[in-house]
Structures are given as structure tokens and as C-alpha cells.
Chain A
């Protein structure tokens, strides 16, 4: 066994960080726009994994042999799955509470999260137990010095990178992205400018959900087992990553997620107890030392 700071560990950390980053972006987008910690976001990730799982068996026969096409279709299904549940959650649970105290939405979010998890494990077709995730792509490995790099590492990093670049372009360059930024700055002003803010919020939820769905697929492929409660811990950790980076801040969420992925990988290699607790330790440290996160701007509160 080598040092815990080996190249292998760094790669593992980046891989985990990529998955956290995709989830964290959803938290940060939604928080940025409606100031709500969407507790159910980790469950969108779980739905994505199951959507990928189901679609794999659906499309497998259809596009037999062409694993690239299959992988693309499965990714699409995972993203659509995540986006749909996000859309429904926003519409039925959060929208009616938009102008009620923030805590009501938060508690509702906890309820939604519980509902999704238990409903899925109660459904006989899904059930509470683990399922092993199929190999969508043939695993290949390259040796690089002491480290073994699997093609999954490259895929995870690449998919996350492509989606993140896409999101950045969406937010910076498109009209919809401008509307999102406007709503996050000032809802009332945005409404006066003729922006349909509910539409923008709904879209934001769907983008977040789609990203979480994609993360679900990547997690399924990388750590090949899925279960209805699989979203709880990654969801929390990704949220903490978003806080670490400065919640509401898109580059912050990515940075926080990669730091979190690497920290957790190193800590787990050192000691499993520390590995389990490191995320929460990071959270408490951030909130004590730099509660606005690494990349947050200073905002004056109005009294």
C-alpha cells in the first residue's frame, strides 16, 4: 500500500469530486434563485440512477452492440428522469409555499425527500434493497506508474466537465441564463422587467435535476450498486461542498465539490471514521471561519 497522497488517490478524489460537483450545482442554482436548501435534491440523484438502470435494460436490445449510443441514451434518460422529478417537486411542493416563511419550504423539502425515498423502497418493483448496476461500457484500465486509471475516471471527469462548461455558457450567454441571474438578484425587479419568474425557477429546478440525474448515472457506473436511500449522503456532502464554495456561486460549487471529493478520499484512506465525518467537520469549520464560503461576495444586509 502506498502513501495516502498517491496519484491513484488524487484521481479517485477527482472522480468523486466530479459526481459531487454535478449534484452541488443543483443545490447552488436553486439556492441562488429561491434561497431554499432543496433537501430532496439528493433524491433527484437517486432517481437519475434508477432511470439510467431502467433505460439500460430498455435500450440494450434496441441498440445492441453500439455501446456508445447506448451510453448516450442512458445519460439522456438519467437527465430527463432527474429533471422531471425536479419539475414535479417544485410544482407541487415548493411553488405553493413560495411566499410563505422560508422554514415551511425547508420542512416541506424534508417531507418530499422522505416521501421519494420511502415511496421508492415501498414500490414492489423497486424495493428497499441494493441492486447491482450493469456495466454500460466495457471497463478498460491503463497503468500509469503505480496508479491504475480506468476509463470510468476519464468518463466521469469528461462528462462533468462538458456539463459544467455547458452550464456556464447557458448562464452567461443565453437570454434564459440572464433571466436566471436577474431573478437571483431581485425577484420583484425581474418581474417588473417582464420576466416570468415562475418559469425561470421551474427551469432552474429542471437544470439542477438533470445534473443530479447525470451524477446518478456516473455514480451507478463508478460504484456499481444503487438503492433508494443512495441519495442521502452524497446529497448532504454535495450541499456542504456548495456551502464550502459559497452557496449560490457556480464556480464555487465546482471548487467546493472537488475539494470535498479529494478530502474525503484522503480521509477515508487514513481512517474510515474520519472519512465518514470529514464532510460534517468541513461544514462546521466553514460556518465558523468563513460562513459565506470560499468564493462568496460580501453582501450588506438591509435592516
Chain B
């Protein structure tokens, strides 16, 4: 079976700086895969390359058998890859529900004309969008926050709102960039359950970056470890956890 996402020989340079080197990865449909590595090892760059924020220097990115390398970001999202950001990128001055509604944008078909005249077709579509947005908020336990201006929400809720927004684009693959960052242990537990639910109920494949070992070891089925843009280990969580190269990358060489 062809994997959902297949990355081959992905390499990226910033000027003379090598950020990612010969990165290869296959993610089968329906899985939860993790990417770990020390700070500055190139994890977020890989997400940026997949989502078209950067144009890779070399390599191929195939999604459902189609090469998406060099596509504009919004087209890649259209193909079915959504993501969240390490430093939240919420539409802060808009309500929580509008954050979600915007993500339903590409599926709406009302023309400018119909929208400006507020024709019945436009109104029924708006109703549908609103209902779906409320359902997503409900799933994330945010329904009581729907009309709240997003920037006033607490941090943990913003993280969930961002995941809800990504889901609203109806992705097949979701990239989560440190979803547990800044969460307390209770929130981390909820998040882990949530990620599993997303995979099971929405049939979304999950690829996540995380520093939180509890999350990585608890839900990831396969883990890739990178340092200085290069793969240093990969495998099942238990194997990776005890790999000497991984320990070295995180803790430094013994004696130094």
C-alpha cells in the first residue's frame, strides 16, 4: 500500500546553512508518527517544507502519490494537509467561532454576488458552516467560548482552538507542532486522548513534533529522531528511548 506521505531525500539550505539534510520518511494512513530532536535540529523546518512555506532545495514530497513540492501553501492544505504552529498563530481579534469558520472557507461555494446580496443559497450555506463550526468547538470543549474574542482565551484553550481550526479544513494528515507546549499535566492527558480521538473519529493521520516525552512515548507508533537536520535514529518508541545516539544528542557526549 502506498503511504499517505512519502518524503524522499529532502534537503534544505538557508543561504549556506544546512537546515535539513537527506530526510526520508513514510507515513502510512491512519497512524500517529512523531518527530523529535533537540532545539534547532530542523523539526519545524521540515513542517514548513511539507506545508510549502519554504521551497525545498532538493528532494520530493509525495502526498497520496502526488508530488506537492513547490506548491503554494493553500493548495497543499486543499490537498488535505493541515497544521498547527509551535508559536500559536490564532486570528486573535476574531471570535473563536470565526477562527473555525475561516478554515471552512475553501469548501464554501457562494459567489461574491450571492454573498453581497445575501441570497437564500448564501444563507443556508452560512447556517451549515456555523453548525459545523459549533460541532468542532464542542468536540474541543470550547462551545461556551464560541463568541469570545480569541486573544482573550487562556493558552491551553488556544492550543485546542488551533487544532480545531486545522481540523475544519477537513485534512487527511494533520501536522501538530509541539501541541503540548505550555500545558499542565492534566491538559497533557486530555490532549493525548484528544489526538487519539482525532485519528479514530476523523480518520486523520497525525504527524507531530513534541518535546514532551510522555506524549511521544504514550501515543506515537513510530518515532524519528533528527539532529542538525539529519536523521540519527528511528523506530518504535521503546527502541528509540534507549538508543545511545539519541541520548547523546539530547544530553551531550559523556565527559563534555
Indicate with 1 or 0, residue by residue over B49-67, a CB within 8 angstroms of chain A CB atoms: 0000100000000000000
Q: Which residues of B contact A300 (CB under 8 A)?
A: 14-15, 17
Q: Which residues of B contact A298 (CB under 8 A)?
A: 15
- Look across to chain A and name the residue whose beta carbon is closest to the beta carbon of B86: A303
Q: How many residues of B contact A (CB 8 A)?
A: 6
B-binding residues in A (CB < 8 A)? 298, 300, 303
Cα distance A228–B14 when bound, in Å? 47
Pick from B15, B17, B44: contact of A303, CB below 8 A: B44
- Taking the closest CB of chain A, its distance from the CB of B64, in whole angstroms, is 25
Give B34-57 interface residues, CB cut-off 8 Å to A.
44, 48, 53
7 pairs across A/B with beta carbons < 8 Å? A298-B15, A300-B14, A300-B15, A300-B17, A303-B44, A303-B48, A303-B53
- Taking the closest CB of chain A, its distance from the CB of B81, in whole angstroms, is 16
- Look across to chain B and name the residue whose beta carbon is closest to the beta carbon of A298: B15
- Taking the closest CB of chain A, its distance from the CB of B191, in whole angstroms, is 23
- The B interface, classified by DSSP as helix, strand, loop or mixed, is mixed
Q: Which residues of A contact B53 (CB under 8 A)?
A: 303
Cα distance A298–B16 when bound, in Å? 10
Cα distance A303–B52 when bound, in Å? 13
Give B1-55 interface residues, CB cut-off 8 Å to A.
14-15, 17, 44, 48, 53
Closest 7 CB pairs of A and B: A300-B14, A298-B15, A303-B48, A300-B15, A303-B53, A303-B44, A300-B17
- Look across to chain A and name the residue whose beta carbon is closest to the beta carbon of B87: A303
Cα distance A298–B14 when bound, in Å? 9
- Taking the closest CB of chain B, its distance from the CB of A196, in whole angstroms, is 30
- Taking the closest CB of chain B, its distance from the CB of A194, in whole angstroms, is 26
- Look across to chain A and name the residue whose beta carbon is closest to the beta carbon of B16: A298
Q: Which residues of B contact A303 (CB under 8 A)?
A: 44, 48, 53
- Look across to chain B and name the residue whose beta carbon is closest to the beta carbon of A299: B15
Q: Which residues of A contact B44 (CB under 8 A)?
A: 303
- Look across to chain A and name the residue whose beta carbon is closest to the beta carbon of B15: A298
Cα distance A166–B53 when bound, in Å? 43
Q: Which residues of A contact B15 (CB under 8 A)?
A: 298, 300
Cα distance A300–B55 when bound, in Å? 12
Give B62-103 interface residues, CB cut-off 8 Å to A.
none
- Look across to chain A and name the residue whose beta carbon is closest to the beta carbon of B13: A300
Cα distance A298–B15 when bound, in Å? 7
Cα distance A300–B48 when bound, in Å? 13
